[in-house]
Amino acid sequence: MVKKIGVLTGGGDCPGLNAVIRGVVKTAMVKYGYEVIGYKDGYRGLVMNDFIKLKLEDVTGILDKGGTILGTSNRDNPFEFRVVKDGNIEYKDMSERVINNMDMFGIDCLVLIGGDGTLTSARDFARKGLKVVGVPKTIDNDLSATDVTFGFMTAVETATEAIDKLHSTAESHHRVMILEVMGRYAGWIAIESGIAGGADIILIPEIPYDINKVAQKILERKNSGKSFSIVVVAEGAKSVDGELVVSKVVKDSPDPIRLGGIGNKIAEDIEKLTGIETRVTVLGHLQRGGRPIPYDRILSTRYGVAAVELINAGNFGMMVGLQGNDIVGVPLEEAVGTLKTVPPDGELVRIAKSVGVGFGD
């Protein structure tokens, strides 16, 4: 018998996290009479026993709010938890401590909301016998076991609006405008916002680009009377003979590589090859912030409700996901470890090329 469940949000934030929390809390309390506690700042709260008891009034009015009322962290893997001992940094497996903490406070199971890193730890907890259910969250939409992750479509909306605004200033000044968006290893935001916003060139990690072909596309547009061009580039895009552009390395992070700067590199190359003035806009964390669009509010609510339904049915070690029009349960063992990337010969690339978009290939 489940009586008390815990919930946390891990990894980077994105629009829709609060809607998931709301879906979990309201379903658990109203439909099944469970108690719900929320762990603060991701897995750190789970390790440090830092939590609050969630009540219905705590989730009132948060459906449309960005961020997460619980806080989050992408540095606190409980299986390699950072501790400072005698002035030195060590990494310890704190998973048994987590299990003991849950036993101490009578927590029967966990809803873990996060991306590949958070859900990989969820899988590892499931292997240790902990009752867990995962909810997929990644702004890059690159989890393979679900068609869409919540927050992604809001990020696409934000990027598309930026492209719309860049069109008018690009045309006015006869410039090339580059928009750099998120997408470390998967170019979903770039390709979907690029198509929606009418970009002329889209550069994604899945299709290495030749800068000479990018420049050729821009010059062809100029020679045909088009005095400006819009380029959308994912932060993880790379040239046919180059590596990822790294902005910095954070040594004590589980994911130390910080990408950034590809937009500026391409702008410099374009100006050299074409002589056309080029400007760069980096959206960065604007894509993570703000109110979720209605699609993400609905999807997040569906995920939150489905997570509690899995708990009530005793189906643990699972992740909820969207497949077609249905919310389904997917074993965590199958849900993590494989990135969902843009197929270079898939429909989105084909339709973009059909309307004249260049990919630098």
* pLDDT above 90 as % of the chain: 85
Active site residues: 140
> Looking at 83-87, 97-101, 250-254, 304-308, which range is the least confident one?
250-254
pLDDT in tens, 215-241: 999 999 999 999 899 999 999 999 998
> Looking at 14-28, 75-89, 210-224, 330-344, which range is the least confident one?
75-89
Cβ atoms of 6 and 109 within 8 Å: the answer is yes
Q: What is the domain count for the chain?
A: 2
- Whether residue 300 is found in the same domain as residue 252: no
Q: Please calculate the CA angle 97-98-102 and round it to the nearest 5 degrees.
A: 115
Count of H-run helices and E-run strands, the chain? 11, 15
Dihedrals φ, ψ of 142, to 5°?
Answer: -110, 20
Q: What average pLDDT does the chain have?
A: 93
**pLDDT surpassing 90 at residue 260:** no
Residue 354 belongs to some domain of the structure: no
pLDDT in tens, 162-180: 999 999 999 888 999 999 9
**What pLDDT is attached to residue 246?**
72
- Whether residue 187 is found in the same domain as residue 203: yes
**pLDDT surpassing 60 at residue 101:** yes
Query: Helical H runs in 248-354?
Result: 262-274, 294-312, 332-335, 347-354
Is residue 337 very low, low, confident or very high in pLDDT (cuts 50, 70, 90)?
Answer: confident
Residue 347 belongs to some domain of the structure: no
**pLDDT surpassing 90 at residue 181:** yes
Cβ atoms of 242 and 266 within 8 Å: the answer is no
Residue 353 belongs to some domain of the structure: no
What is the DSSP secondary-structure string of 35-83?
A: EEEEETTTHHHHHHT-EEEE-GGGGTT-TT--S-TT---SS--GGGEEE
* pLDDT above 70 as % of the chain: 96
Residue 343 belongs to some domain of the structure: no
Average pLDDT on 104-108 reads 94
Residue 345 belongs to some domain of the structure: no
Residue 23 belongs to some domain of the structure: yes
Average pLDDT on 46-61 reads 95
Q: Domain of 297? A: 4-150+292-335
- Whether residue 85 is found in the same domain as residue 102: yes
Residue 227 belongs to some domain of the structure: yes
**What pLDDT is attached to residue 261?**
86
CATH code at position 269: 3.40.50.460
